[in-house]
């Protein structure tokens, strides 16, 4: 087979994105992400790659989420010597994400060895730093670049997180020419900071995500209204609001909504807002450096001043500053990671607020099965935090409209009506988004394929 596609991750699942294109004697990867979820899923991270990393000419990275870039240090350690291409915002965010991942791996391994288990970290800071050396200077949206002889790539805005891209490949093996579009993760149109995703162009093949292919999302304005209501109600009761927050995009969007809420009087002026996450603070600084990624309305907003700034805002990088927040018993709005509460500083804030009926915990993101966030959302009467059983008395809010992933109507709008040889569905749980979205496409005569991990498909 002269030209093939092989799915090495995000096959009927939502993590571990990794796609291999072979064109003549050239090989290109799109994404090299971490598998995330329970122990069984994550075991795949330490398994050898099903291809020889040294044979890969280039890696094209759609965006900086860990499930898309997290295994790059392993790829490099196993012999990859090619180019890594990404937009400049993705490159900067990937640096923060990979260094953070490396230090978490090292901490986890140290904790395990204190328990007497011998676990080597998946990779360490040196591996991450070495991988970062392979990133080439950031490339702009919509400029075709030659990746290798016979392979040209064009990145287009995917509207998912800062710097995110869909990637359009033009392949020519000397006999055949084919085009293939990788959606990457797609955002929802109408977000405040980023531009809308650019629809898929005409192409022979489309490899697309379908995380929320089974449903429409709740409207964003309703969700923002609910967020303000949660804060108003809690401050009236003299409690604190804890918002478990993902560091990339969600934290910055929330800061912007809080900025607007305070400006427009939707939130009482005396609240104190804490961004208690070193990674989210770094990501916010990276945001400020990349106005080329912003939506026009948001750019106009920038001319009137800092859209993330507000009276009473504190960025707490140091552990001591973070701990000081625990002495506040009312009027604090605390944004802290991780979003699913399975690690990070948010656990301290939960420990100090979950048992208080005056406080509130507001969930604004996806919470996987088995995580602390999911147990609280599902109504547990008490949960274990740092080996202590805490009774849940705080009011729990779950607000669904902030998703960074396109819902079913937005996925269909991105795909459009252009004729295709084949649509391949990836990055979706089979029983949820993928099968349902497959049925919608089948009804339109598209007969999508849903490759399994390791499945190789001829692009003939
Ligand atoms: Zn993503």
Task: For residue 259, give both structure tokens.
Answer: 């900025």
pLDDT on residue 385 = 93
Name every residue whose Cβ is closer than 8 Å to that of residue 129 and which is 6 or more positions away in sequence.
99
Q: Which of 209, 212, 211, 190 is nearest to 200 (CA)?
A: 209
Task: For residue 217, give both structure tokens.
Answer: 């999302």
Mean pLDDT for the stretch of residues 1-18: 93
- Cα 336 to ligand 1 centre (Å): 19
- Cα 161 to ligand 1 centre (Å): 7
- Cα 185 to ligand 1 centre (Å): 5
- Cα 183 to ligand 1 centre (Å): 11
- Please, which pLDDT band fits residue 71 given cuts at 50, 70 and 90? very high
pLDDT single digits (tens) 318-352: 999 999 999 999 999 999 998 989 888 999 999 99
The correct CATH number of 220-402 out of 3.40.50.10890, 3.40.50.720, 1.10.357.10, 3.40.50.620 is 3.40.50.10890
pLDDT on residue 453 = 97
- Cα 34 to ligand 1 centre (Å): 12
- Cα 459 to ligand 1 centre (Å): 26
pLDDT single digits (tens) 206-244: 999 999 999 999 899 999 999 999 999 999 999 999 999
- Cα 187 to ligand 1 centre (Å): 9
Residue 86 DSSP symbol: -
Q: Is the pLDDT of residue 124 over 60?
A: yes
Residue with tokens 């967020």: 227
Q: Each residue of 7-31: b (16+ CB within 10 Å) or e?
A: bbbbbbbbbbbbbbbbbbebbbbbb
- Cα 304 to ligand 1 centre (Å): 30
Mean pLDDT for the stretch of residues 373-385: 95
Q: In the CATH scheme, what architecture does the domain 3-215+404-458 have?
A: 4-Layer Sandwich (3.60)
- Cα 457 to ligand 1 centre (Å): 24
Concatenated DSSP letters of 16-65: --EEEEEETTEEEEE--PPP-SSHHHHGGGGSPPSS-GGG--EEE-----
* 207 close to 424: Cβ distance less than 8 angstroms: yes
Segments making up each domain of the chain, as ranges: 3-215+404-458, 220-402
- Cα 116 to ligand 1 centre (Å): 35
- Cα 347 to ligand 1 centre (Å): 23
pTM (two decimals): 0.93
């Amino acid at each position: 087979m002269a030209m093939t596609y092989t799915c090495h991750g995000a096959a009927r699942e939502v993590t571990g994105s990794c796609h291999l294109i072979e064109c003549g004697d050239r090989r290109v990867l799109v994404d090299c992400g971490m598998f995330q979820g329970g122990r069984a899923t994550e075991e795949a991270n330490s398994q050898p790659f099903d291809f020889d990393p040294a044979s890969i000419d280039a890696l094209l990275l759609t965006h900086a989420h860990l499930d898309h870039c997290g295994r790059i240090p392993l790829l490099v350690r196993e012999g990859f010597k090619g180019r890594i291409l990404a937009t400049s915002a993705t490159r900067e965010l990937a640096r923060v994400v990979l260094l953070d991942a490396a230090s978490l791996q090292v901490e986890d391994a140290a904790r395990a060895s204190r328990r007497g288990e011998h676990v080597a970290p998946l990779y360490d800071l040196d591996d991450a730093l070495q991988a970062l050396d392979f990133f080439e200077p950031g490339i702009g949206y919509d400029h075709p670049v030659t990746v290798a002889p016979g392979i040209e790539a064009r990145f287009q805005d995917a509207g998912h997180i800062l710097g995110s891209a869909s990637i359009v490949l033009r392949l020519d093996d000397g006999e055949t020419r084919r085009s293939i579009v990788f959606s990457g993760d797609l955002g929802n149109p109408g977000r405040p900071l980023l531009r809308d995703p650019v629809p898929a162009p005409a192409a022979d093949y489309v490899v697309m995500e379908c995380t929320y292919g089974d449903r429409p999302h709740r409207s964003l304005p309703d969700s923002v209204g609910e967020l303000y209501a949660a804060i108003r109600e809690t401050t009236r009761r003299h409690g604190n609001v804890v918002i478990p927050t993902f560091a990339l995009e969600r934290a910055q969007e929330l800061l912007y909504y809080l900025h607007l809420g305070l400006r427009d009087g939707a939130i009482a002026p005396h609240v104190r807002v804490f961004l208690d996450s070193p990674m989210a603070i770094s990501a916010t600084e990276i945001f400020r450096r990349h106005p080329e990624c912003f939506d026009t309305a948001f750019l106009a907003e920038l001319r009137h001043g800092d859209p993330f700034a507000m009276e009473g805002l504190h960025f707490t990088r140091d552990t001591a500053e973070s701990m000081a927040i625990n002495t506040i018993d009312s009027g604090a709005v605390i944004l802290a990671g991780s979003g699913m509460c399975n690690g990070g500083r948010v656990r301290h804030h939960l420990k100090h607020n979950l048992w208080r009926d005056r406080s509130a915990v507001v969930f604004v993101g996806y919470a996987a099965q088995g995580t602390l966030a999911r147990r609280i959302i599902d109504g547990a009467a008490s949960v274990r935090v740092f080996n202590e059983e805490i009774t849940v008395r705080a009011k729990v809010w779950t607000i669904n409209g902030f998703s960074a992933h396109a819902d079913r109507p937005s996925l269909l709008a991105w795909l459009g009506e252009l004729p295709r040889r084949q649509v391949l569905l990836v990055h979706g749980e089979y029983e949820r988004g993928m099968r349902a979205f497959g049925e919608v496409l089948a009804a339109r005569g598209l007969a999508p394929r849903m490759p399994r991990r390791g499945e190789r498909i001829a692009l003939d």
